[in-house]
Structure 1
Amino acid sequence: MDNMQNIFRRELVDVQGVPLFWSIAEQWSEVESFEARTDDLLISTYPKSGTTWISEILDLIYNNGDAEKCKRDAIYKRVPFMELIIPGLSNGVEQLKNMQSPRLVKTHLPVQLLPSSFWKNDCKMIYVARNAKDVAVSYYFFYQMAKMHPEPGTWEEFLDKFMAGEVGFGSWYDHVKNWWEKRKDYRILYLFYEDMKENPKCVIQKLLKFLEKDMPEETVDKILYHSSFDVMKQNPSANYSTVSKEEMDHSVSPFMRKGISGDWKNQFTVAQHEKFEEDYKRKMKDSTLTFRSEI
């Protein structure tokens, strides 16, 4: 594609107060009118919160732990990113239309932008939240390698933007808080990345209960193994290595970078941390949500 340069590193565009990729904004009506099916399972996260990990776990559950079946295609084809529309490269809405039920659907949209058909059809949803400091660091590295994002600038500049909600998909604070509130009224299983790291087996069992599925212990153990960071990092159908270098440059930073809790300590200065914590307390003071920033 000759006009690749025209696609990448463009400024984000405001959609109802939320900064999104320009190409999503241009095709917003297509996203907004997306027709969910009653047996769709929505996987919702703020970016860099374990999206690919939970997607792989769920695809393994849907395929009864058959790892070979889960290598049938790249994760972004098995679990389409609904709102991602990039001219000539990707259209999540179209991908999903052509998929057989039951579908796994990925989104990073905040609650207020989610197509209304998901609420109307009372779809089951799984939300994964990760502590803000690790998300900020992971997102900074992702911005560098994934070229649909604008240039990230320095870490200091990026952190300020993150705190102000001027990054793709908007404010982390609003995102996690609003999905947390929404779980009171809809079938939403709200999970934490840190719990997944600490006890992945327990989380898989929670998922099975939520999905009303029974599985023998050895299948659960298989899912546990195939969804581990080290195995997924080596798996081309899970690690995004099949995406072109024009879109994602793994030599800048691998898509699956560290997958740990507490990496923020290697990035934040003392002053940045103090400023961040003060801002965080103010923004999260009215919420019952609590996060662990290391385990």
Structure 2
Amino acid sequence: MDQEQEVFKHFVNPLKAGVTKFKGVMLPVCFKDYAKEIEDMEVRDTDIWVTSFPKSGTTWTQEMVYLIVSDLDYEGAKETLDKRFLHLESGILMDFKGYKANHPEFQCVDYLIEPIKVIKNLKCRRLIKTHLPWDLLPLEIRNGTKKPKVSIPFFYSILVFIYV
């Protein structure tokens, strides 16, 4: 059994349709529906992106960045991290949109069903988390057209390039 079939065997349920290779990376099948939208996504110079591998200090980094940019707003930090720091591919990891289309009674917050749309519509400074590799990030980041602040957590050390 090849790697893709082995992963697929464990990655299928009503919210997950399986995985496929996309530019050499194993991703949920529904990623193909979002790839162009992510690549063409308008990036703002005021954005702050935390890009990392899972389990490499991402949550800790998100909390630190939030507190820095909010001038230590501990009261605001009581709000769930998913609302303060939107996860770019949350609607891709689990196909909430497809599931809701087949189950209209399913209740879910917008930022899980269409995170890219929610991120695009934010008026304030956007805090965005992603586990996507560099080659799958928006083109404006990769080609340097826009220069958001990008933080890369690294085993609980943090490299944050932001100006408060």
Q: Does 1:55 align with 2:41?
A: no
| d(CA) in 1 for partners of 2:22, 2:64 | 31
Question: Any unmatched runs of 5+ in structure 2?
Answer: 1-12, 101-107
TM-score w.r.t. length of structure 1: 0.42
TM-superposition CA deviations, 1:37-79 (whole Å, max 9, x none): 11111110011111111111111112111211122x3211211
1:96 equivalent in structure 2: 119
Out of 24-33 and 38-47, give the one that drifted further.
Answer: 24-33
| d(CA) in 2 for partners of 1:99, 1:112 | 24
In the alignment, which of 79, 84, 95 is matched to residue 78 of structure 1? 84
| d(CA) in 2 for partners of 1:48, 1:11 | 22
Q: Does 1:128 align with 2:139?
A: no
| d(CA) in 2 for partners of 1:12, 1:25 | 11
> Does structure 2 retain, via aligned residues, the 8 Å contact 1:24–1:84?
no
Question: Any unmatched runs of 5+ in structure 1?
Answer: 131-192, 196-202, 214-295
After TM superposition, list the pairs within 5 Å mapping 1:3-152 onto structure 2: 5-8=13-16, 10-71=17-78, 73-85=79-91, 86=95, 87=97, 88=100, 89=108, 90=112, 91-118=114-141, 119-130=144-155
Alignment root-mean-square deviation, CA: 2.1
> Does structure 1 retain, via aligned residues, the 8 Å contact 2:50–2:150?
yes
DSSP 3-state at the match of 2:71: coil
Q: How far did 1:80 drift?
A: 0.7
Q: Greater CA radius of gyration, 1 or 2?
A: 1
Q: How far did 1:127 drift?
A: 0.7
> Does structure 1 retain, via aligned residues, the 8 Å contact 2:35–2:136?
no
Q: If each structure's helix is expressed as a fraction of its own residues, which one has the higher value? A: 1
Q: If each structure's strand is expressed as a fraction of its own residues, which one has the higher value? A: 2
DSSP 3-state at the match of 1:77: helix
Structure 1 vs Structure 2: percent identity of aligned residues?
29
